């Protein structure tokens, strides 16, 4: 995401708390052998989770600005998997149910859970569903602190625990700050990430790369790492990996075109990367929008898409490159339907489809 500075201005007291609390408190893992495995996003989903926009937070017009996007995401996904929606309170639950019913959606595929949230970015604050050594599903609760104390985090940090209770699943709390958008896994033992959003004193002060890798080995089941430096201070996230590169189909890295990289050496690292077996990845390039988005002054990103069971929720911007990008992704996922949705309004606040969705795999 790019910027949520209005949050800091409207709720200054929470901003000060977030700046000083909920940092990672990592202890050394003496035996880093993995106990849990994070499946690839490409595996079959039981459900996709969403945090529905509301007007109780920093933006009193969230519903008016975002809701059409959430309706279309739900429409695209609910024919192939459950859509589990977190709503702020019972009033919002009743209203959102009416909105979805009036849009003709199959409500038997949609489930509601009532918990207050600070915002919509469930990719970063939400539950991470992993498999233990006996094949059971576990909810991992990594710490969340509003991207290093830049935004409210109090309610959002509790969401993984709340979800585990609702699903009667065990939860493992991990004393490391880690946002879901900070990591990509290929499902075959490799993790891709940027140092700027993990090895950052606003998340995990004093942590070393070796210490972070030990946590990822233990809690995500990876053994091979592709590290990019990233750019600290770039957008509110300090430069998440899911705005630069994505794994697809276990053997492919989807990334930007070389000229669109802020740090050119990152492109070289990605194109030379190998998987846990030492095999090179296929590289697929996605363009940016042909023109800058007038209301933002930046080119739009297509790489932050979300792959459901039957549908790809794909951000478009009414741009000349929209169809080119759609065709590239359709070729990569021939068994899924690419569903283009105009995400321009959400992009004003720096996020796209992947940022606001979280998969729950079928185990």
How far apart, in whole angstroms, are the C-alpha atoms of residue 230 and residue 269?
12
132-168 in b/e burial notation, b at 16+ Cβ within 10 A? eeeeebbbbbbbbbbbbbbbbbbbbbbbbebbbebbe
**Pairing status of strand 45-51 against strand 82-87:** parallel
With b meaning 16 or more CB within 10 Å and e meaning fewer, what string describes 38-58? bbbbbeebbbbbbbbbbebbb
Give the helix/strand (H/E) hosting 133: none
DSSP string of 58-88?
Answer: S-TTHHHHHHHHHHHHHHHHTTTSEEEEEES
The answer to whether 7 and 60 have CB atoms below 8 angstroms apart is no
216 with 191: CB under 8 angstroms? yes
* Phi, then psi, of 69 in degrees rounded to 5: -65, -45
**Helix, strand counts (H, E) of the chain:** 11, 19
Sheet with 224-228, strands from edge to edge, namely: 183-185, 190-194, 224-228
Active-site residue identified among 87, 256, 355, 358? 355
Extended beta strands in 273-349, E state: 282-286, 288-293, 298-301, 306-307, 311-316, 337-342
For residue 355, indicate whether it is catalytic.
yes
| Radius of gyration, alpha carbons of the chain | 19
* Cα gap 106→211, rounded to integer Å: 46
Annotated catalytic residues are 355
């Amino acid at each position: 995401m790019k910027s949520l500075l209005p949050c800091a201005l409207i709720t200054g007291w929470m901003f000060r708390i977030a700046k000083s609390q909920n940092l990672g408190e990592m202890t050394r893992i003496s035996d880093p052998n993995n106990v849990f495995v994070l499946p690839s996003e490409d595996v079959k989903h039981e459900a996709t989770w969403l945090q529905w926009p509301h007007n109780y937070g920093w933006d009193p017009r969230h519903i008016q600005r975002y809701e059409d996007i959430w309706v279309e995401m739900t429409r695209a996904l609910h024919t192939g998997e459950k859509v589990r929606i977190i709503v702020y309170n019972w009033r919002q639950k009743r209203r959102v149910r009416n909105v979805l019913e009036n849009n003709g959606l199959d409500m038997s595929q949609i489930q509601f859970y009532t918990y207050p949230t600070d915002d919509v970015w469930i990719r970063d604050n939400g539950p991470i569903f992993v498999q233990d050594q006996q094949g059971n599903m576990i909810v991992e609760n990594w710490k969340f602190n509003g991207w290093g104390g830049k935004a409210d985090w109090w309610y959002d940090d509790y969401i993984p625990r709340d979800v585990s209770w609702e699903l009667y699943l065990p939860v493992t709390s991990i004393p490391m700050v880690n946002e879901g958008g900070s990591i990509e896994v290929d499902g075959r033992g490799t993790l891709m990430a940027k140092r700027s959003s993990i090895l950052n004193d606003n998340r995990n002060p004093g942590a070393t790369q070796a210490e972070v890798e030990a946590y990822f080995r233990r809690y995500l089941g990876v053994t091979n790492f592709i590290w990019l430096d990233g750019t600290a201070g770039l957008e509110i996230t300090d430069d998440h990996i899911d705005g630069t590169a994505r794994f697809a189909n276990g053997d492919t890295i989807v990334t930007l075109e070389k000229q669109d990289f802020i740090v050119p050496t990152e492109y070289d690292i990605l194109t030379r990367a190998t998987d846990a077996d030492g095999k090179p990845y296929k590289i697929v390039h996605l363009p940016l929008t042909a023109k800058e988005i007038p209301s933002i002054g930046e080119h739009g990103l297509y790489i932050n898409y979300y792959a459901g069971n039957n549908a790809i929720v794909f951000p478009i911007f009414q741009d000349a490159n929209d169809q080119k990008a759609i065709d590239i992704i359709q070729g990569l996922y021939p068994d899924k339907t690419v569903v283009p949705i105009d995400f321009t309004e959400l992009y004003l606040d720096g996020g796209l489809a992947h940022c606001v969705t979280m998969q729950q795999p079928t185990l």
